[in-house]
Homo-oligomer: A and B are copies of this chain.
Amino acid sequence: MNNFYYQIPTEVYFGKGQIGQLERELPKYGKKVLLVYGGGSIKRMGLYQTIYAIFERIGIEVIELPGVEPNPRIETVRAGVELCKNNHIEVILAVGGGSTIDCAKVISAGAKYAGDSWDIVTGSVPVTDTLPIITVLTLAATGSEMDRFAVISNMKTNDKLGVFSPLFYPKVSILDPEYTFTVPKNQTAAGTADIMSHIFEHYFNNVKGAYVQNRIAEGLLKTCIHYGPIASHKPDNYEARANLMWVSSLAIDGITWRGNDVIPSVHPMEHELSAYYDITHGVGLAILTPHWMKHVLNDKTVDRFVEYGVNVWGIDPSQDKFQIANQAIEMTANFYKVLEIPVTLREVGIDDTHLEIMAEKASRGLEDAFYPLTGKDVLDIFKASL
Residues of A within 8 A of B (CB): 1-18, 208-209, 211-212, 215-216, 218-220, 222-223, 226-227, 238-239, 242-243, 246-247, 250, 255, 258-259
Contacts and interface: CB of A to CB of B under 8 A. Distances in A.
A14 B211 contact: no
A212 B208 contact: no
A220 B226 contact: no
22 contacts: A1-B242, A1-B243, A3-B14, A3-B15, A3-B16, A3-B17, A3-B18, A4-B15, A5-B12, A5-B14, A7-B12, A8-B8, A9-B9, A14-B258, A211-B243, A212-B219, A212-B220, A212-B223, A215-B218, A216-B255, A246-B259, A250-B255
Contacts of A212: 219-220, 223, 243, 246-247, 250
Contacts of A15: 1-4, 259
Contacts of A14: 3-6, 258-259
Q: Which of A13, A14, A218, A258 has the most CB of B within 10 A?
A: A14
Report which residue of A216, A258, A259 has the largest number of chain B beta carbons within 10 angstroms of its beta carbon. Answer: A216
A216 B17 CA distance: 26
Nearest to A7: B11
Given A15-B259, A209-B242, A218-B219, 7 more contacts: A2-B15, A5-B13, A7-B10, A7-B12, A212-B250, A216-B220, A242-B259
Contacts of A255: 216, 250, 255
A298 to B, nearest CB: 24
Q: Which of A6, A10, A218, A242 has the most CB of B within 10 A?
A: A6
